[in-house]
Every structure is written in structure tokens, then in C-alpha cells.
């Protein structure tokens, strides 16, 4: 049998590669549709690629949140640090706490996705971006540090025990202590408690 012309061989190889790319793209399209259905069922609609990138980012950092420990007791004895034989009292300080709320129904209808991650004591905001080519997607991560960062799964009681309970103990200790709590946020996010 005569040898095939190199140009014909190259054209056949190109056609085979094209068919392989088409099969791959078809399989990817089916997988994306299934993933989109899973995201919607989980209450997290939106761009499948960005949701996947946020999910991967969170998986890479799973377990990195710091433990909160016991709530601080304001006004508690801190020990003799001056060498005078007297114990100094810990001074009250400003404590900034953040509580992430779940994605609302209104946001779900607009196909917004969950783009905030709380890893105590840091809150990360994941901004969905596209490169200059207009096609390639990536996330820009901004971090904000607080005294306490609570995600949407933390109970209101735990938030209270770390943010407000130490102030109640301090005020009721009978030493003339004063405290103020500023609660700012969306209606129904737990301020009144």
C-alpha cells in the first residue's frame, strides 16, 4: 500500500483532535448543567465557574479558622505586672465582631452566589473577575480582620457569649463599669437578641 501523503495524515490527525475536543466540550457542558442544578438545589445559584472557584478556595483552607476560646472577662485580674504587689485590672476595649448572614431569597432570584467566607478572625470577600481577554475567570480575594468573625452557621447564643456577655458581667460586677453595644445590620440578622 502506498504511504499516505503527510498533508492527508496531518488533516486526519487534526480532524481526530477536533472530534476529541467536541466530545470533551459536550461532556463538560453536561457536567456544568448538572453542577448548576446541584448548586440551585443547595440554594446557591449563580455562575458555576465562580461558585466552583470559591468552593475550591474554601476546601484549601478548611480547618484554618482559629479557635475562639473562652469569652474574655472584662475587669478580671490580670496578675501583678508592675512589681508593686498589686494586681492590675484589664481595661475594657473595643471589640469588633462580624456575623455573616445567609444568602437571601432576593439574592438567589438575582442569581447572586455566596461570596463571603468567615475564617475566624478573618472575613474574606471573593470578587468575581474576568481577565482582559473577557473570557478567563478568576477570583480576587480581600481579607478583613476582626476580633471575632462568625459565619452563618454559628448560633446567636455563641455570638452573645463572645460579644455581649463579657460586657454584662463587667457592668454587673459592682465596680461602676459601663458598656455600650452597637449592633448594625440587616433586619432579621440577630441584632435584638
pLDDT value at position 26? 93
Q: What is the pLDDT of residue 21?
A: 93
Whether pLDDT at 115 is above 50: yes
Give dist(CA 58, CA 149) in Å, integer. 15
Assessment of whether the complete model's pTM goes beyond 0.75:
no
Residues 27, 29, 33, 38: what is their CA dihedral angle, to the nearest 10 degrees? 60
8 A C-beta contact, residue 77 and residue 89: yes
* Residue from 63, 53, 68 nearest 126 by CA: 53
Phi, psi angles (nearest 5°) of residue 146: -135, 175
Rg (CA), the chain: 27
**Residue 20: how many other CB atoms lie within 10 Å:** 10
Taking the alpha carbons of 122, 125, 130, 132 in that order, is the dihedral positive or negative? Answer: negative
Distance (Å, rounded) from C-alpha 44 to C-alpha 96?
A: 28
Are the beta carbons of 74 and 169 closer than 8 angstroms? yes
Burial status of residue 99 (CB atoms within 10 A of its CB: 0-12, 13-18, 19 or more): buried
71 has pLDDT over 70: no
For 162, the 3-state DSSP assignment is: helix
Bridge partners of 127, per DSSP, are 140
| Residue 17 binned pLDDT confidence (cut-offs 50, 70, 90) | very high
Cβ-proximal residues to 111 (8 Å cutoff; 6+ apart), any chain: 45, 46, 47
Q: State the burial class of residue 118 (Cβ atoms within 10 Å of its Cβ: 0-12, 13-18, 19+).
A: buried
Q: What is the per-residue pLDDT across 85-114, written as a single tens digit (0 to 9) for each?
A: 444 445 447 888 898 888 888 888 888 888
Q: With pLDDT > 90 as the criterion, what percentage of the chain qualifies?
A: 26
All three cell numbers of 180, joined, read 455600650
The overall average pLDDT reported for the chain is 82
CB 96 within 8 A of CB 144: no
Q: Which residue has the cell 468575581?
A: 128
Mean pLDDT of 131-160: 90
Average pLDDT over residues 144-164: 89
Amino acid at each position: 500500500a502506498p504511504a499516505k501523503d503527510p498533508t492527508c495524515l496531518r488533516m486526519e490527525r487534526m480532524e481526530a483532535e477536533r472530534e476529541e475536543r467536541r466530545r470533551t466540550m459536550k461532556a463538560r457542558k453536561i457536567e456544568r448543567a448538572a453542577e448548576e442544578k446541584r448548586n440551585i438545589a443547595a440554594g446557591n445559584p449563580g455562575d458555576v465557574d465562580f461558585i466552583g472557584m470559591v468552593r475550591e478556595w474554601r476546601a484549601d483552607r478548611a480547618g484554618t479558622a482559629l479557635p475562639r476560646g473562652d469569652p474574655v472577662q472584662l475587669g478580671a485580674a490580670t496578675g501583678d505586672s508592675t512589681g508593686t504587689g498589686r494586681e492590675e485590672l484589664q481595661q475594657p476595649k473595643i471589640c469588633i465582631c462580624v456575623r455573616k448572614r445567609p444568602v437571601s431569597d432576593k439574592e438567589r432570584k438575582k442569581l447572586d452566589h455566596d461570596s463571603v467566607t468567615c475564617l475566624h478572625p478573618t472575613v474574606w470577600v471573593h470578587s468575581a473577575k474576568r481577565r482582559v481577554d473577557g473570557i478567563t475567570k478568576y477570583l480576587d480575594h480581600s481579607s478583613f480582620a476582626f476580633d471575632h468573625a462568625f459565619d452563618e452557621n454559628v448560633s446567636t447564643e455563641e455570638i452573645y457569649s463572645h460579644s455581649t456577655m463579657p460586657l454584662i458581667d463587667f457592668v454587673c460586677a459592682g465596680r461602676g463599669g459601663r458598656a455600650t453595644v452597637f449592633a448594625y445590620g440587616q433586619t432579621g440578622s440577630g441584632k435584638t437578641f
